[in-house]
Structures are given as structure tokens and as C-alpha cells.
Amino acid sequence: MRTIGVKITSLIERRQISLEYLSNKKIAVDAYNWIYQFLSTIRQIDGTPLMNSSGEVTSHLSGLFYRTTRLMKLGIKPVYVFDGTPPAFKYVLAERREKKQEARAKWREALDKGDLVAAKSAAQATSRLTHEIKQQSKELLTLLGLPVIQAPSEGEAQCSHLCAQGKVFATASTDADSLLFGSTRLIRYLNMTGKRKVAGKNIYMDIKPEIIELKDLLDSTGLTRKQLIIVGMLIGTDFNPGIRGYGPKKALKLVKQEKTLSAVLKKVEWVGPEPETVFNFFMSPPVKDFDIEFSSVKKEKILKMLVDKFEFSQERIEKVLGEVTKKQKSGLGRFF
């Protein structure tokens, strides 16, 4: 999958922040982005997801509960936005399906050989976000008293719309599509501190939350938002494969030289969906206006869901909920 996330942000200096900096701030979270992370990484030694005794997957619930409550204990106000119907031209969907099929084959092969390390590695790319997983995630987040927003189309586009309206402080995502959609701020690596393995290499890098301001990005590159979108399209987005040989610096140079999409297209051999279609989708994606409201934690209903149905540890869940409730009571007006 080719996305512009890390690559385009290499054009500017990112500012590291502490999680405490985000206290009392509303943050729009691309829900699918996080849920896929949990389904991918929270797995058993042979690569199978965490499950209860009935065989129901619980990886997403574990990840959402513990990450979300950690943020809430810090006074951060997550607003979860779920994807709607993707555009028919979304390039990355077919590529993801192919990679999942390949990963399933590698997973089965590794299990047959008894290679659990290879099995778990391959299994991480097989994650499926089912209707049940979506509904369970929404239910849990609602019981935690958090806003759950159903976007008409791309979740990142809806997050960006909320941010541009000033209804949230920033969008939280691991990639940078939200900047192309017009989010005024992007938070990367929210809730992450410590070290992370670099993909494909046996080295680790320090990870801390960082903030990117759209205005800073545009000022430092000398681009307009329209031109930033063109740079992203040249590198490759979830909606088009990009132009071979074009990284951030080369794309930036061409766009600053040619200025407009029509002029840029005369200099490259375009592949993928119609470029105007991709460009217009970033400029004016399907979004809706929403009011953002928080409510109290529904402790008993959470216990019934996580402990009674999905067999989480009652002691651990009660301890965490007690800490969240104490935090909310100490800053009641600010949180709600």
C-alpha cells in the first residue's frame, strides 16, 4: 500500500509534544485506523486474534478500552469517527485485498512448518474489520461516554471537516491524508511513547506524539493547499498509486515549478483514476455537520459487555473505570 503519510511530513520539521499538552482538548480519531492497529498487533503467539471462549474476537475491544481510557485519564477528549462508503475509485482497496490473500497463505504455511514467529508476522496483515467488530467498537465507545460519529464516506475527511470547523483541536492519525483534506492540525503517534521497530529493518526508533500544523506545512513549502494535494497525488495516496520515481522532494519541485494540476499532468505519465476526480475528492469530500457531546461512563453496562460477554478481567476493568471516573469528577466541568 502506498500512502503519503510519513513521506510528505518529511518536508517539514515536526514538533514533538507530551500527551499532557492535549489535556482538555477534543481530538478527532480516525477509528478504523486504530481498530486495524489493534486487530493487527493484539494477537496470540500463533497469530490468531485474542478471543473469548466462544471464539469471538476481542483484540479490538482490548485495544480500544485500554488506549481510550488512558487518554481519558489524562483529560484528553477523543471523538471517534467511523468510515462510511468509500469512493468507487479508491485505489488502495484492491491492493489491500491482494495483500491479505497473500498473507493468509503465508500464515497457513508458517503454521504448517511450526514457525510461530513467521506465523504471527504474516497474520498481522490478515486483519478483517467485520460488521460485528464495528458495532461492538461503537457500543463500547458510547458506553464510555464518548461521541461516535458515522462519516458518510472517508473517516479522515470527516475528522478534517470537524477540525476545520473548530469543533475539535486536531485530527489523530498515523498518515497525513487529513492534511490534504484540510485538517488544520494533525497529531501523529497519539498515545505512543517509547520505541517502535522500523518496518523491514532490525532497528528501533524513539516514538513520541507529534503535532503538524497545516499552516506551518504550507508556509515552509511555499504551497497552497491545492498544490499540497497535487504533491500528495504525485507521491501516491489511498486513491491513486502515484507516479513512479516521484518522492516528496521531486514532487515538491515539480509542483512549485508548474503551479497547477493541468500543467503538472503535462509533465508526467499519469496512471490510476482520473486525476481531476482524485483532486476534487480531496478538495470537497462527502462530510456532514455534527454536534459533539460527551456523557458519563456507563460502568455497569461496560462490565456486562466486557466481563460477562467477552470475559475480560473484572478486577482490571473495574480498576481502570474507577480511575477514569475519579479523573472526570475532579475536572467535571472541563470534561463534559
Q: What is the pLDDT of residues 276-298, one digit of tens each?
A: 999 999 999 999 999 999 999 99
Do 151 and 248 lie in a common domain? Answer: no
Last residue of a domain, one of 220, 244, 268: 220
Q: Report the pLDDT value the prediction gives residue 104, as an integer from 0 to 100.
A: 66
Q: Note whether residue 129 is domain-resident.
A: yes
Instruction: State whether 61 and 148 are in the same domain.
Output: yes
- Does 116 share its domain with 240? no
Say if residue 144 is in the same domain as residue 274.
Answer: no
Q: Please indicate whether residue 197 or residue 47 has the higher confidence score (pLDDT).
A: 47
- Distance between CA atoms of 179 and 58, rounded to whole angstroms? 32
Q: Give a yes or no: residue 22 inside a domain.
A: yes
Residues 117 and 181 both lie in one domain: yes
Residues 138 and 196 in one domain: yes
Same-domain check for residues 20 and 144? yes
DSSP type of residue 276: H
- Do 169 and 262 lie in one domain? The reply is no
Q: pLDDT confidence of 191, banded at 50, 70, 90?
A: confident
The last residue of one of the domains, among 261, 284, 307, is 284
Asked if 258 and 215 sit in the same domain, the reply is no
Asked, for residue 328, whether it belongs to a domain, the answer is no
Q: Are residues 236 and 141 in the same domain?
A: no
pLDDT of residue 196 exceeding 70: no
- pLDDT at position 59: 95
Average pLDDT over residues 112-141: 80
The CB-side HSE value for 278 (13 A sphere, CA atoms) comes to 26
CATH number for 209: 3.40.50.1010
Tell me how far apart the alpha carbons of residues 319 and 270 are, in angstroms, rounded to a whole number.
55
In a domain, 143, yes or no: yes
Is pTM, for the whole model, over 0.85? yes
Interval 156-168 mean pLDDT? 97
Please tell me which residue, 319 or 175, carries the higher pLDDT value. Answer: 319
Q: What band does 97 get if pLDDT is binned at 50, 70 and 90?
A: low
Please tell me the least confidently modeled range out of 161-165, 270-274, 331-335: 331-335
pLDDT of residue 14: 78
What is the domain extent for residue 44?
Answer: 1-220
What is the band of 6 on the pLDDT scale with cuts at 50, 70, 90?
very low
pLDDT value of residue 5: 44
Output the CA–CA distances (angstroms, integers) from residue 202 to 63, 199, 205, 238, 332, in the order listed: 25, 8, 10, 27, 46
Cβ-contact 242, 236 below 8 angstroms: yes
In terms of domains, do 24 and 128 share one? yes
User: Is residue 276 assigned to a domain?
Assistant: yes
Report yes or no on 323 lying in a domain.
Answer: no
One-letter identity of residue 209: P
Task: Tell me if 307 is assigned to some domain.
Answer: no
Average pLDDT over residues 82-93: 86
Residue 64 belongs to some domain of the structure: yes
Is residue 3 scored above 50 in pLDDT? no
In 3D space, the residue among 60, 38, 75, 21 whose CA is nearest the CA of residue 208 turns out to be 21
pLDDT for residue 331:
61
Listed residues 198, 220, 242: the one ending a domain: 220
pLDDT at 123 over 80: no
- pLDDT-derived band at 128 (thresholds 50, 70, 90) equals confident
Instruction: Report the number of distinct structural domains present in the chain.
Output: 2
- pLDDT over threshold 50, residue 60: yes
The model's pLDDT over 248-280, given as tens digits with 9 standing for 90+, comes to 999 999 999 999 999 999 999 999 999 999 999
pLDDT at 118 over 80: no
The per-residue pLDDT of the chain, averaged, comes to: 87
What is the band of 175 on the pLDDT scale with cuts at 50, 70, 90?
confident
Residues 205 and 261 in one domain: no
Cell (9 digits) for 96: 489491500
